[in-house]
Structure 1
Amino acid sequence: MRRLWLAASVLAVSTAAFAQAPKPAPLAELSRAVTIPYEQFTLPNGLRVIVSTDRKAPVVAVSVWYNVGSKMEPAGKTGYAHLFEHLMFNGSENAPGDFFAPLQQIGATDVNGTTWFDRTNYFETVPTPALERTLFLESDRMGHFLGALTEKNLKNQIGVVQNEKRQGDNQPFGLVEYAQIKALIPPNHPYGHSTIGSMADLDAASLEDVKGWFRQHYGPNNAVLVLAGDIDVPTARTLVTKYFGDIPRGPQQGPVAVSVPTPPKRVDEVMKDRVATPRIYRTWIVPGLNDPDSVPLDIAATVLGGLSSSRLDNALVRGDKSAVKVSTELQQFAQLSFFEVQVDCAPGVDPAEEGRKLDALIADYIAKGPTADEVLRAATRDVAGRTSAVESVGGFGGKAVTLAEGALYSNDAGFYKKQLAAYAAATPEQVRAAMQKWLTRPMHALLVEPGPRGAYEESKSVASKPSTFAPAFYHKPGEAPVTFKPATAVDRSKLPPVGTIADLKFPAVAHAKLSNGIELVYAQRTATPTTRIVVSFDAGVAADTYDTLGRQSLTLSLLDEGTATRSSEQIAEEQERLGANLSVGNSADRSSVSLFALSPNLQPSVDLLADVLRNPKFDPAEVERLRKQQLVSIVSEMTQPGGLAQRTLAPILYGANHPYGRPTSGLGDAAVVEKLGRDQLVAFHRAWFRPEKATIFVVSDRPLAEVRAVLDRALGDWRGTGAPGVKAFNVAPPAPRSRIVLVDRPDSPQSLIYGGVVTSLKGTDELVPYNAANDVLGGNFLSRLNTDIRETKGWSYGVNGSFRRALEAVPYIVSAPVQADRTGDSLAAMQADMRAFLTTQGITPEEKERTINGFVRELPGSFETSGDVLSGMQNNVLYKRPDDYYSTVASRYRALTAPQMDQAIRSVLDPSKMVWVVVGDAKQVKPQLDRLGMPVEVKTAPQQTSQGEK
């Protein structure tokens, strides 16, 4: 692909047209633009099929939604729906072994499954020529599963699910959901227990129990299949009928009777947890998404605490600064929802007084309702979010998800259109009436404050006796359970062939310059009327010096918190009216300011972007407010296993003075942040956020000439002042010294093992052979490390190893959250796996074929959306690669041999030089680590800041 340069003079257009910024496009017009064409049909066995044709990429999203979630679970069987989500990835009768193996072979992306109260779904996006094989696999686990279900698989996946539960529970605030459900919903209510289930019920699950669960719920008449992408209805009907048509109907799942419970009185509760600052919750149970009050309640939540300019932000965060963070969310489910308010108190604030203040603000809001402008801004945000989401055909929120949700929850695949119309037509009166109806009922008032957790009985497997309970909907006493005996209409003795999958054709990339020389890197994508812009600066966490750790992050966070002409609140409100979103981000090597804009509102959105880039005010009051927030974030990071591990490992690997030897989050050191003055932030902005350090990346449905003209009007006369910043990469990392550093985090039900070593690689090196080899070692679900620790031993929810690409010294990092009583065994097993892989047990022919096929065939699905393309463009510039890199990388993967892959990774990775950080309960973990024959250093996890400190 040739590199296109368009000179400024060629693209120059009159700026007279931009003299007056246009008003935002009408909301009704924006909402009508969100359209998903689809057709549907139903097989004789009851399977509902929805087809949406989208030819923008040669991929098809396959999404199977089963009408089974935790609300169907009877007492004694909690967690079954989620357990089955795991089990159905373990293979079927005619496709034994993990489903991830054949899916990787065909280049599937967005492969996952999820479970919640209302549903279980499985989804993947596959190259079009691999669709038939994918439908074979999905139909096989729907109609030919029970014969592959073994006691061994069951026990293994019970262990995996229990470790997933421990991993979630081990996080700060990880026990809140249990308290909310217990306080608000009766235990015998369908929504009266968490989806993850209880340790006791999982331990008690027998093979016959779970087989009965499958027979009841996983028939085709209880499912919706969505195909979205490069597919048409005739092709879909032929293939779906071929592979799913012979599966007999299962028992008909009747509707689940669900009421919206009302607690008899307000429930006040206080919990202690390993948290940085007190958090106040206010939670109500309200109706589900099909209720006419659902949209007004969602708008109510957005106005109260969901917008950047929300009522609570303006009153508590920007106003009296008694809170460092607020949020309000309507968690919508099919038959009821949770209306939840969160307030994180600022240091030194009395949470009881803050709670009373919060209740008064909410009461006033319920009584008076929102303004018309607030309703408009909230509704516009929803429409903008949906516009962005439906660009993708699959994944967690694309076209397939939208259509499946409508079909399963509302019996209408086009339900999203009714929701959009409701948002566009919403009035303040509707919102106020909905709040007065539902939010004047008793709620759960929870305070989580810093302190040691109480006894936590769910932290370990309790090895209950097997259950003999058989609910009536499995089968009547004395009757044989329903069994499936499909009449095989297709040859299931072998997988269908995969057609020729064409190599990726990365979109044409054009280059231009603004009048001041800023390079503009552009690609056009017309799937949605949106524009994504990233202004990337050569700064990042590495731009901080040892004595200014956190300055980059604080500077970055202040950019959109006030300019010379706009207040923080005005910036927030303007984004919301435009349906735009400004965000900031950083990596080790770059700092960025990003804009998502609805293209009809592109010019005013870019004007706002330019103002925050060029004219940040760094108002002293805002500096103090954001400083307080960053200090709380630092403490919060040190309450999390991952945050503790990263903060511990980075300075060990690189040395404290190296640009990479600091916390990867960029939050920095509390003692430094406490003393940073406004002048230091202004100086950092001048040195690093300047035109000559900037590159602008754009993916838009609008042509380059138009985009460049809009950007040049706003940024073309921008000039830097003073000397640019310079990074200190002349500091060498210390010589590696292998050891274990144990960070004592008392009462942790899980340990996080986090190992690393600095390699000789640089980010500008061609990492294809190293990443391909690591895919076998640690980079994939099927990797040696994950297969051993998760799938074979069941000690972890997931293990990962990867080369963390950075411009200079690239590290290799292994991350493994494991159950506490298996910490030493897990570390020993991973070390053994790595030694074997890097010496005598290299890559097998099957692993090599699977890995190379996966990397090559997944490329089209990896660049489906404008956001994907935007990331690829940034990587190409950062790592000094040609614009057509992704179009040519397939040939480099195909050229690799297994010996070349082995040689590559063995030349840069030596496990005997790795440092292992373990975050866990020292009294339980240290004896295990002492047996491994390595030096063990023990550090105490930092204590959270007390409420009296600043």
Structure 2
Amino acid sequence: MSIDRLARRASLALLGSLLAGCASYANPTPAAPSATAATPPPANGAARAAGFDIPYRQHILANGLTLIVHEDHKAPIVAVNVWYHVGSKDEPDGLHGFAHLFEHLMFNGSEHYNDEFFRPLEAVGASKMNGTTWFDRTNYFENVPTSALDMTLWLESDRMGHLLGAVDQAWLDEQREVVLNEKRQRENQPYGLVDDLIARETYPAGHPYSWTSIGSEKDLKAASLADVKQWFQDHYGAANATLVIAGDVDTDEVIKKVERYFGDIEPGPTLARRSQWVAKMSGSKRSSIQDRVPQARLVQVWNIPGFCERDTNLLQIAGEVLAGGKNSRLFQRLVYNERLATSVSADVGPFEIGSQFQIDTMVAAGVDVAKVEAAIEQELQRFLTDGPTDAELERIKVQQEGAFVRSLERIDGFTGKSSTLAQYQVYCGTPDHYKTEMRWVFDSTPAQVRDVARQWLSDGRFTLDVQPFPDLAPAATGADRSKLPAVSEAPALKLPPLQRTTLSNGLTVLLAERHEVPVVQATLLVDAGYSADAGVAPGTAKMTLDMLDEGTATMDALAIAGRAEDLSATLLSTANADAALIGINALKSRLAPSLDLFADVLLHPSFPEAELARLKQQRLAAIQQEKSQPVGILTRLYPQLLYGSGHAYSNPRSGNGTEASVSALTRDELQRFYARWVRPDNAQLLVVGDTTLAEIKPLLEARLAGWRAPADAKPTKNLDTVALPSKPRVFLVNKTGAAQTLVSALLLAPPKSDADDVAVMVANNTLGGLFLSRLNMNLREDKHWSYGASSQLGSARGQRPFLAYAPVQTDKTAESIREIDRELRAITGRKPITAEELKLAASNIVVGLPGDNETAGEVAGSYLNILQFGLPDSYYNDLVPAIEALTPDQATAALKRYLQPDALTWVIVGDLSKIEAPVRKLKLGEVQVLDVDGKPLR
């Protein structure tokens, strides 16, 4: 449950995130099937737009509920997505935060199922499940196996039509505290006050966007039960809702089911819709604040038309030209050439009655913000004078096309097809308004984009300068409501089998065919990763991988990025703890030239000095950001505390390294690291997507045959087993002024390949892996001290970290530590896992497997896990019988072997002036105070 911060159109997401998925794609210009296929020429705008479609059928119930059904039969799952046309903009004075509060209340149960809604949904393996609140709407969504559709519709209809009888004062008090903890958690992050300030300063008093969706603490505390019930009666009727069902369903059957479950719900009162209120600003307005942040930030905002307007879509194109990638104008000048900033973006925040255009810049350390602002102004005025070039505009259109193709696989409520159809229905009045948007985009000319930008960006700007504090600077009969509908047997996971072959250079190639969407993903898995940093400077592995697309023997960084954009291909070069990943995601129609690009980046990296200097600047800024956030501090410190010096896993978990190590890195060190680790006898190439072994092997052979392993032996890593501490340890880290304390308990567990892995994975769901887990129900739902508490078991080839953690109210720090410790001891002692808990924890994994492997990328992720951790090919298909055979005693015994409370390492990040004394009084173990770099202070 969350405030929706993904509503802004991110780079290349005008059609990507908002049009996330479709059922059919007509490639207008397929490339010839040749290893030397050229980039196909663009079709005209109307033809390009005509190739996209999300087939649907719309049905309006007698009570006004809008039903939209889309069939997608590639996986045995179905997305259920309910959008209520009510958000924070509909809140009158004195009720700010009610939309968000009610989003939480509606998860607590209803008249006929008075329990947590997560309980039955998690039990049937629901995935991609959440609820979000934004300015204009509230939504609830989940992907479930097709066998659980009736149950899910029953639940969604029960909270729509039968909620208020279950809402009482205890519910209100509980969820009010949860919401307030969410508000504190957000405000405890760096730049956590920025959104609220922008809302107040860019809109006039009384404008419905002049306050944020998170709400007012004063109003939330003053909310009465009568206020809450009246809010629901006014806004949550059937006629104010849109229900989208997308997936492996029959449309006629879905309509019958929806009539049965939703048809007897009251329509609700008639609501007046607010008209467009852009509130365009005039002149220039400024504000400057100081915050506990690691680097200065410059945000510039203009008010522009609403979500469904043509000008808003063309302004998104303007944002892409200005700051949409490496070849964008502001990135080239601020980040790439002059090194004035570590990042810059320009995009549209699309709201219903008026949107915002925003340029957001993270200023490099030691740089005068005024100099950055002057450079932005020069580039902006140049754009307003000349507009985009033909090449810039065409590149963006190709990327939009590629984003749409890659969205074909998703049906979920985050960015999938169900979200797309619901969003356009609610905001624009028709589910297929995206087609109009595509025509606007594909038919746009440089002059049109320039003219729209002139109209909206020439005047009326708000500028916010965020500076670090000095001490931190750098008609139906109705459904049976007596019980939940039964869930039939869940569909089994069926991953495509792995096929294997070997290239002439000895490189193993593995293929999993997926022909539903014209996309191919190739990923080289190298046995390296952050653990290969041992013996070299921390951060070397990550920097080496980040530098791969910064230059080759024939192309510089901008040329590489430009070629990828021209092909609508996505290059991958990154690392995790155990592996380096180098790959490309390509459109089938452009597979051959995309593989040319992949091979050039893989085989001929040049590690240019200028790019290294730029990335070092960005990496140093990222380290400072980590050291300013509680979770970042934790993940930087715990590897050293758990593994000790010299171990392959002892460096910061992010792989970023330290300021000293990054500052000293040289090009020669990166080249040596790459030559030592990235070699065909130390790697495997996984291909997933729309190809065959007969097709892909010759393409790979033609490009990689000359890549040979060196004569010296493959390198090794120190993954020795580390003994657990003999007694608990406590480490405190100060974060002055923190509104919350991050409490964490950690220890080392056996590797992912351990025989008890499956049992512990299930057991951890009971402890802290689900919403209904013991930790979360205790600290969030029962005590209301935290927005969320959980436990995680990492994945690694060697010993892996186990972590239980929660951000909690500062004044409840000691009490929260005591509760976490109690829960950890109870589950392995006096309160073992019950049969009911095991059933829920197991079902969530088993039934969710198909939904977790919906897309080619998710299938690739599953097989990369298998390859990386040395698991059998059938690991995921074998999970079901392995989990179903577990008993509660076996799950408890396995967890007890992993979880040893007397060997815990506690890391607690908060305001020590308020929490140190209470923590010491707990006498958990020896207490030591560290700085953010892990150096002892006392």
TM-score by length of 1: 0.92
Q: Residue 453 of structure 2 corresponds to which residue in structure 1? A: 435
Output the CA distance in 2 between the equivalents of 1:859 and 1:323. Answer: 42
Shift of 1:34: 3.4
2:550 is paired with a residue whose SS is coil
Q: Which residue of 2 aligns with 1:613?
A: 602
Give the corresponding residue for 2:929: 938
Matched ranges for 1:80-91 at <5 A: 80-91=98-109
Compare 798-807 and 329-338 and name the one that shifted more.
Answer: 329-338
Unaligned runs of 5+ in 1: 1-14, 455-485, 944-950
Report 1:623-662 matches (<5 A): 623-662=612-651
Select 1:571's aligned residue among 560, 565, 568. Answer: 560
Match of 1:506 in 2: 495
* Other structure's SS at 2:320 match: helix
Alpha-carbon distance in structure 2 between the residues aligned to 1:16 and 1:876: 32
* Structure 1 residue 386, shift from structure 2 partner: 2.7
1:908 aligns with 2:926: no
Task: Tell me which residue corresponds to 1:461.
Answer: none
Letter in 2 for 1:148: A
- Which residue identity is paired with 1:852? A
State the distance in 2 between where 1:16 and 1:914 align: 58
Q: Is the 8 A contact 1:763 1:810 kept in 2?
A: no
2:371 is aligned to 353
Q: Describe how 1:224-623 pairs up with structure 2 within 5 A.
A: 224-451=242-469, 489-545=478-534, 547-623=536-612
Provide closer, same or farther for how the CA distance between residues 237 and 20 of structure 1 changes in structure 2, counting only shifts above 3 A. Answer: closer
Structure 1 residue 619: deviation in Å?
1.2
Task: Answer whether contact 2:751 2:796 (CA < 8 A) is retained.
Answer: no
Whichever residue aligns with residue 691 of structure 1, its letter is: P
Deviations 1:185-237 (A, max 9, x none): 11300111101011111111111111111001111100000010111221011
Unmatched runs of 5 consecutive residues or more in structure 2: 1-31
Separation of aligned partners in 1, 2:470 and 2:753? 42
AA of the residue aligned to 2:489: T
Superimposed CA distance per residue, residues 360-404 of structure 1 (whole angstroms, 9 cap, x where no aligned partner): 221121221111111111222223223222311113011100111
CA–CA distance in structure 2, aligned partners of residues 791 and 552 of structure 1? 42
Cα deviation for residue 312 of structure 1 reads: 0.7
- Matches of 1:230 and 1:406, distance apart in 2: 22
Aligned position for 1:12: none
- Measured in 1, the distance between the counterparts of 2:75 and 2:428 equals 29
Conserved in 1, the CA contact under 8 Å of 2:37 and 2:593?
Answer: no
**Cα deviation code 1:766-792 (max 9, x no counterpart):** 511011111101111110000000111
Offset of 1:600 from its aligned partner? 0.9
Distance 1:528 1:441 in 2: 44
After TM superposition, give the deviation of residue 696 of structure 1 in Å.
1.4
How big is the shift at 1:916?
0.9
Question: How far apart are the structure 2 equivalents of 1:403 and 1:762?
Answer: 40
- The answer to whether the aligner puts 1:758 opposite 2:744 as a matched pair is no
Q: Name segments (4+ residues, structure 1) moved above 6 Å.
A: none
Partner of residue 176 from structure 1, selected from 194, 199, 212: 194
Preserved contact between residue 654 and residue 734 of structure 1 (Cα < 8 Å) = no
Q: Is the 8 A contact 2:48 2:442 kept in 1?
A: no
Residue 745 of structure 1 contacts residue 940 of structure 1 at CA under 8 Å; is this kept in 2?
A: no
- The code of the aligned residue for 1:173 comes to Y
Residue by residue over 1:470-509, the C-alpha shift from the partner in whole angstroms, topping out at 9 and shown as x without a partner, is xxxxxxxxxxxxxxxx997332111111122232112222
Describe the superposition over 1:786-824 as per-residue Cα deviations: whole angstroms up to 9, x where unpaired: 000011111111111021111111221112111211111
- C-alpha contact (below 8 Å) 2:303/2:460 kept by paired residues: no
Aligned to 1:707: 696
Comparing 726-735 with 290-299, greater Cα deviation is found at 726-735
Shift in CA distance, 438/861, structure 1 to aligned 2, threshold 3 Å: same
Alpha-carbon separation, structure 2, partners of 1:16 and 1:212? 63
More displaced stretch, 16-25 vs 554-563: 16-25
Judged with a 3 Å threshold, the aligned counterparts in structure 2 of structure 1 residues 655 and 19 are, in CA distance, closer, same or farther, namely same
Conserved? CA contact 1:763–1:809, under 8 Å: no
Residue of structure 2 in register with 1:223 after alignment = 241
Contact 2:753 2:870 in 1 (8 A): no
- Give yes or no for contact 2:525–2:582 (8 Å, CA) kept in 1: yes
Cα distance 1:711–1:423, how it changes in 2: closer, same or farther (>3 A)? farther
Rounded Cα–Cα distance in structure 2 between residues aligned with 1:415 and 1:656: 58
The match for 2:144 is 126
Residue 831 of structure 1 corresponds to 821
Secondary structure in structure 1 of the residue aligned to 2:549: coil
Provide closer, same or farther for how the CA distance between residues 449 and 133 of structure 1 changes in structure 2, counting only shifts above 3 A. Answer: same
Shift of 1:565: 0.4
The question of whether the paired residues in 2 share the 8 Å contact of 1:47 and 1:224 is answered with: yes
- Residue 840 (structure 1) shift: 1.0
Distance 1:230 1:424, change over 3 A: same
Partner Cα separation in structure 2 for residue 816 and residue 798 of structure 1: 6
| Contact 1:48/1:221 (8 A) holds in 2 | yes
| Residue of 886, 889, 893 corresponding to 1:896 | 886
Letter in 2 for 1:916: W
Q: 1:306 to 1:741 in 2, by over 3 A?
A: same
Partners in 2 of 1:453 and 1:219 — Cα distance?
A: 52
The answer for the alignment partner of 2:178 in structure 1 is 160
In 1, the alpha carbon distance for the partners of 2:864 and 2:688 equals 11
| Match in the other structure for 1:667 | 656
Instruction: Please give the alpha-carbon distance, in whole angstroms, between the structure 2 residues aligned to 1:24 and 1:617.
Output: 31
Tell me which of 797, 801, 804 is aligned to 1:807: 797
Q: What do the CA deviations read for 1:280-315 (whole angstroms, capped 9, x no partner)?
A: 111111111211101110000011001221101111
Structure 2 contact 724–748 (Cα < 8 Å) conserved: no
Report if aligned partners of 1:544, 1:551 keep a CA contact under 8 Å in 2. yes
Distance 1:643 1:824, change over 3 A: same
Q: Secondary structure at the match of 1:95?
A: coil
Residues 36 and 593 of structure 2 are in contact (CA less than 8 Å); yes or no, is this contact kept in structure 1? Answer: no
Partner Cα separation in structure 2 for residue 314 and residue 507 of structure 1: 42
**In the alignment, structure 1 residue 721 sits paired with structure 2 residue 731:** no
What are the within-5 Å matches in structure 2 for residues 678-827 of structure 1? 678-721=667-710, 723=712, 724-730=714-720, 732=722, 735=725, 737-827=727-817
Asked whether the equivalents of residues 93 and 146 of structure 1 are also in contact (C-alpha less than 8 Å), the reply is: yes
Partner in structure 2 of residue 7 of structure 1: none
For residues 622 and 330 of structure 1, what CA distance do their matches in structure 2 show?
29
Structure 2 CA distance, aligned partners of 1:912 and 1:732?
Answer: 16
SS in 1 for 2:769: coil
Amino acid across the alignment from 1:817: P
User: What secondary structure sits across from 2:409 in the alignment?
Assistant: coil
Q: Counterparts of 1:115 and 1:506 in 2: how far apart (Å)?
A: 35
| TM-score where L is the length of structure 2 | 0.93
Q: Is the 8 A contact 1:24 1:577 kept in 2?
A: no
Q: Give, in angstroms, the shift of residue 183 of structure 1.
A: 1.3
Q: Indicate the residue corresponding to 1:482 in structure 2.
A: none
SS of alignment partner, residue 337 of structure 2 = coil
**Paired residue secondary structure (1:596):** strand
Identity %, equivalent residues: 40
**Would you say the 8 A contact 1:129–1:500 is kept in 2?**
yes
Separation in 1, partners of 2:505, 2:413 = 40
Contact 1:686–1:720, Cα closer than 8 Å, also in 2: no
Letter paired with 1:132: D
Deviation at 1:942, TM superposition (A): 5.8
Partner of 2:864: 874
What is the one-letter code of the residue matched to 1:933? K
Instruction: Indicate conservation of the 8 Å contact 2:752/2:869, yes or no.
Output: no
Deviation at 1:737, TM superposition (A): 4.3
Query: Cα 1:762–1:530, aligned 2, differ >3 Å: closer, same or farther?
Result: closer
